[in-house]
Amino acid sequence: MLTLVRRMGAMLASAIVALFLLMTPAHADPVCTAWGDTDPAADGLQYGCVAWSGGSDGGEDGGDGGGGGTPTTPQCTFFDLWNEFCQGNRACYMNDPAAIQDIEKAREDDPSLKDKPEDAEKLIFTSCKESADAEEVRTYYWDSEFQMVTILDRIQAARGALNLPTITAEFNPPTRTLVNLDTWWWAEGAPAGEVVGSPALGMRAIASPRGMTVSAGGQTIDCPLVTQKSDECSMMFRRAGNYQATMTITYDIRFEMGGQVIDVPAGAQDLLTISTTATAAVPVLEVQSIVTEVD
């Protein structure tokens, strides 16, 4: 019964998508801008669009354009090369710029391609399929008319798919330490090497640990990333008291697409770093010695 419900739901979604696309002008298919997992048991669907923008003719306020209707939520199954983005319920990839920039040759694939607008600079090529066995739809667009998923969109999606593990700030001696005694610190639960994110819109984010800092009692120490008990990261408390320590691990991020490192656009340099933190309560005791005479 559950499988039947899923199939009926998928069929209804496809019907809604088909109706929406019929109402959308040529070259103004909606573009998937946010992604989320769907039930992989539901007819093999693995990913689906969860937020959509309108077509290519966005208004001045940045709102939906093109079709002008209420955005739908179609689902797009990825396979083989068609794994970069969705157009409607079709899985697609893009060449920007297109390998063919000659209008007449491009029209052999896409007879609907119109003459070059005055504000256009290049042709963009997309290839899409509705299923693994469906005929490939090859389409050319002028860059001035086609709203597409940008490199920045892909980078932001990839960064959002990068999940740093939860860490625990551990110290030794455990539970409490002493004045003027070296206190060791390490990040329990942190991987010693890189953290690789899940792919998103064809992009993947990879975080490399830069280092670790520990702040407590008015002092901050810089250390390499330490993931197990050792003396590589230590501090000393000069006074007794109850301190709150904050441990921060900073990572440098690189973005890769098809095995190639992708440069982050100007003005988005903050996307190149990420950090994770943990806190710990540190009781610091003072040991006092009493000297007595011994007969």
Tell me the per-residue pLDDT of 152-197, one tens digit each, with 9 for 90 and over. 888 888 888 898 999 999 999 999 999 999 999 999 999 999 999 9
- pLDDT band for position 270 (cuts 50, 70, 90): very high
- Go through the domains of the chain in sequence order and give each one's CATH number: 2-149 (no CATH), 159-285 (2.60.40.10)
Q: Which residue has the tokens 């003459």?
A: 115
- What residues contact 215, with CB distance under 8 A and at least 6 apart? 245, 246, 248
Side chain identity at residue 73, one-letter code: T
Residue 220: is its pLDDT beyond 80?
A: yes
Which contiguous run of DSSP H or E holds residue 211?
strand 204-216
Question: Residues near 176 by Cβ (< 8 Å), separated by ≥ 6?
Answer: 282, 283, 284, 285
The predicted-structure confidence for 123-157, as pLDDT tens digits, reads as follows 999 999 988 889 999 999 998 887 667 788 888 88
